[in-house]
Chain A
Amino acid sequence: MSSTATGSTDTLTPVLTSGWADERSWTLDAYARRGGYAALDKAFAMGPDAVIEAVKDSGLRGRGGAGFPTGMKWSFIPQDNPNPKYLVVNADESEPGTCKDIPLMMASPHTLVEGVILSSFAIRAHTAFIYIRGEVLHVIRRVQAAVAAAYAAGHLGRDIHGSGYDLDVVVHAGAGAYICGEETALLEGLEGRRGQPRLRPPFPAVAGLYASPTVINNVESISSVPSIIANGAEWFSSMGTEKSKGFGIFSLSGHVQRPGQYEAPLGITLRQLIDLAGGIREGHELKFWTPGGSSTPLLTAEHLDVPLDFEGVGAAGSMLGTRALQLFDETVCVVRAVLRWTEFYKHESCGKCTPCREGTWWLVQTLARLEKGQGSEADLDLLLDQCDNILGRSFCALGDGATSPISSSIKYFREEYLAHLTHGGCPFDPAASTAWSDRTVGATA
C-alpha cells in the first residue's frame, strides 16, 4: 500500500498501461474490446462545459512536466473569440530520461486518439494536431494507423456518433529539435518555422496556433481523459495525494534490476519503486537520480522516501517533472554525467536568447576543464555564477533546465568535483558503469 496515497489504493494502478500486453493492443478491435471510445457518447451527452468541469474536478495536472491543472488550462480558451480553436498534442517526448509517451503511443495509440476527441470537444476545437518527434518511426506509423482507423469507424470526421460534432486530426512528424517540446516552439515548428519559443503573454490559450486560441497538452495528460470521463472525476481523484491527484507512469532507467514503466498513484516513493524493480543492480548502491528528467535537480539516496508528487519533490528542492527516474549507482562519475547533459543543452539551445545561447557554451567549457582535472576550485563558483546568469534570465525553460544538474550536483557532490582536481582527471572507470561490466567481472572472478 502506498503510505502517502489517500484511502487504500493499490501500490501500482495500471490504467493507461493496462492494455499494453493485449494481443495486437494497438488496433481498434483490441481497444474496443476494453470499452474503448465508449466515453465519447457519454461526453457528447454531457456537453463541452461539463467535460471541462469533470477534468477540473478530477484534479488532473499536466503530465508533461509542469503540472499545470489541465481543466483550468482548457477553461482559459476564450469561447467568444471568433477564430477557430485548436488542440495540439505535445508528443515531442525528448527530455533526457523521459520514455513514457513513446511506449504509450506504440502500444495503445487509440487511448490518445480517444483523448484527443474528448479534449477537442471540450474546448470546441474542430481541428487537432498530434506533433510527434520525428525520430520514432514505428510510433508514428501506429498513430497514423490509429487515426485512419478512427476515421473509418466514425470516431473522427463529420457528425461523430451522430452528435453533430466534427473533428479532424492531423498527425505531424517533427524533425529533431528538443526545443520543440517547449509549447510555443512546438507551435512555431507546426507553423513551418524554426522552433524558437515565443514571448508570453499572449499565452497560447489566447493566441496560439495561427494566433488562434490553442490548448497544448502532453500525450499522457490527454490519454488520461478517457478514463476520467468513463469512470468519473471522483474515481480519478481517489488516487494520488491531496494536491497531486490520480495516477502517472513512472519510468525507471539505469542501474536498477528491472528498468521499465510502472504506473502508480502520484505520491509513491522511489524506495517503493526500486523495491518493485528488484533493487539497484546487484552489489551496488544508489548514488544520485533525477526525479523527472535531466532538467530537474538531482537527488540522492537521502531522498528515497520523498513522495513523488508535485509538492513532495518540490519540497525536496527538485521537481516531479515527467517522472523520468534515471538511477545512477556509485560507479558513475557525477561530473561526467552532468557534463554530458550540459553538452546536450548547448547542442539543443535554439539560439534565440543570449543567456542560454552563450551561457550553455560557457558552462560546457568550464565543466569540461574541471572534468579533465585542469580547473581550480574557483571554477565551481564560476559555474554557479554562470548558472545564476542563465536561471530566470533566459527566454524559456531550456536555459533554466540546463542549470539544474550543475547547481544540484555541486550542492551534493562538491567533493567529487574537487577530487578531479586532486586526481588530475576523472577518478572513475567508465567501464564499471556499463550494462555488461558486472556480468563479466562476476563471470571471471
Chain B
Amino acid sequence: MGTKLNHESLAELREIAARYPQPRSGLLPMLHLVQSVEGRITPEGIEACADVLGISAAEVSGVATFYTMYKRKPVGDYHVGVCTNTLCAVMGGDEIFARLKDHLDVGNDETTADGKVTLEHLECNAACDYAPVMMVNWEFVDNQTPESAVQLVDDLRAGNEVRSTRGPRICTWREAARVLAGFPDGRADEGPSAGPASLVGLGIATERGWSAPDADQTDQADGSTDHPVAEEAHQEAAATADAGTKEAEAAVVEKESPTTETAAEKGDAR
C-alpha cells in the first residue's frame, strides 16, 4: 500500500511547522493534514512528520495515539458522531446511537461496508442546548431524533446534499481534516450566525427592553453598543428565536417515539 503523501504534502507539513516559534508545535495540525491526505494516520504519515520535525517516529506515534480524533483505521467519507455524554444520552442520544448501530449494522467506531459512514459515540461537543446532538465530520447536527438520524445517514450514503443545522453543506471527512490543519476552504460564510437556542436570551432581553447599563452612566466612553441599528437587530433576534422554537417543537411533535427500544447498554455503547 503506497502512501499518498507527495512533495506537495511534505511542503505543506513544513508550512504548518513554520507557523510556530518552535516547529514541533505544528504536530497536531500536521497530523490532521496526514489524515486529510491518507484517510487515517499511516506509518508513512508518522515518518513524514518525524522527518519534518527532526524527532523520532515513536514520539510522533505517542502523540497520534493520545488524541481521539486521530484514527488508525480508515474512516468513511462521513464520520457520524452521536453524543452519549450524560445530558444528550438522557435526552435521547442513547436511543439514537442504538438505532443507528442497528440501522447501519455496525458497532462503535466501525465503518459501513460501502465505506461511506463511520459511526462513533462522542463525548460532550459543547452544544447541550441543542440536545440530543450529532456531529457529521465535526459539523453540528442539532436536536436529533432516532428518525431524523436514520434519514441523515441514509442521505449521506445516497450522496444527497446534507447541511449542518448550524453550518454549511457537509464536506467529506478528509476535506474537514484539511481545514483543521489550517488550510481554510473558504466556506466560513455559509450557514447562520447562530442557531435558535443561542439566541433565546437575547430575544427575551429585546422583547422586554433589557440591556446592560449605558456606558455613559458610569464612564465617559461612547455607548456604541446601544444605537438604533442594534435595536432593530434585537427585534429580529426575538423573532428568529421564537420562530426557531416553534419549528423545533413542530419537528418533535411530528416524530413518533420508538418505545420498543431501550437505551444503549453501557457495554454495548463502548
Interface residue ranges, A against B (CB under 8 Å)? 7, 9-15, 17-27, 33-35, 38, 42, 84, 93-99, 101-103, 106-108, 127, 133-138, 140-142, 144-145, 148, 170-178, 189-195, 210, 227, 230-235, 238-239, 247, 250-254, 258-264, 276-277, 294, 324, 326, 328, 332, 336-337, 339-341, 343-344, 347-348, 350, 368, 430-431, 433-437, 439-440, 443
- Is B218 at the interface (CB under 8 A from chain A)? yes
> Across the interface, which residues of B come within 8 angstroms of A341, CB to CB?
85-86
Surface stretch bound by A, among B7-15, B25-33, B101-109, B150-158:
B25-33
Chain A residue contacts of B85, Cβ below 8 A: 96, 340-341, 344
B51 within 8 A of partner (CB) = no
In the complex, which residue of chain B has the Cβ closest to the Cβ of A8? B213
How far is B251's CA from A293's CA once the two chains are assembled, in angstroms?
28
Report Cα–Cα, A227/B219, bound state, in Å. Answer: 12
Interface positions of B (Cβ within 8 A of A): 19-22, 24-29, 31-32, 53, 62-63, 66-70, 81, 84-87, 89-92, 94-95, 122-132, 135, 137-140, 143, 145, 164, 166-168, 176, 179-182, 184-185, 187-189, 191, 193-205, 208, 210-213, 215, 217-225, 229-230, 233-234, 236-237, 240-241, 245, 252-253, 255-257, 259, 261-263, 266
What is the CA–CA distance of A437 and B218 in the complex, to the nearest angstrom? Answer: 49
Determine which of B84, B124, B196, B210 lies in contact with A97 in the assembled complex, contact meaning CB atoms within 8 Å: B124
What are some 21 contacts across the A-B interface (CB < 8 A)?
A: A13-B205, A15-B225, A18-B230, A24-B189, A34-B224, A107-B193, A136-B126, A138-B164, A141-B185, A141-B188, A144-B179, A170-B20, A189-B67, A194-B63, A231-B223, A231-B225, A235-B215, A239-B212, A251-B128, A254-B87, A431-B263
Which A residues lie within 8 Å of B32 (CB)? 134, 173, 175
B198 A434 Cβ-Cβ under 8 A: no
Task: In the A-B complex, list the 5 residue pairs whose CB atoms are closest, starting with the nearest.
Answer: A232-B219, A35-B224, A21-B237, A260-B200, A192-B27
Cβ-defined contact, B67 with A175, below 8 A: yes
> A298 to chain B: closest CB distance in Å?
11
Nearest residue (CB) in B for A20 is B194
* Contact across chains for A135 and B135 when beta carbons are under 8 A apart: yes
State the CA gap A343–B108 with chains docked (Å): 16
A231 to B225, CA, bound (A): 10
Report whether B211 and A10 are in contact in the complex, using a CB–CB cutoff of 8 Å. yes
Query: Shortest CB–CB separation between residue A444 and chain B, in angstroms?
Result: 9
Interchain CA distance A251-B48 in the complex, whole Å:
43
Cβ-defined partner of A137 (8 Å) among B27, B29, B84, B138: B138
A436 touches B252 (CB 8 A): yes
* B256 and A440 contact, CB distance less than 8 A: yes
- Interface-central residue, B86, B127, B132, by most chain A CB under 10 Å: B86
List of A residues within 8 angstroms of B168 by Cβ: 138
Q: Give the docked Cα–Cα distance between A262 and B139 (Å).
A: 23
* CB neighbours of B210 from chain A (8 A): 10-14
B67 touches A177 (CB 8 A): yes
Taking CB atoms, residues of chain B closer than 8 Å to A98 are 124, 126, 128
Min CB distance A176 to B, Å, is 4
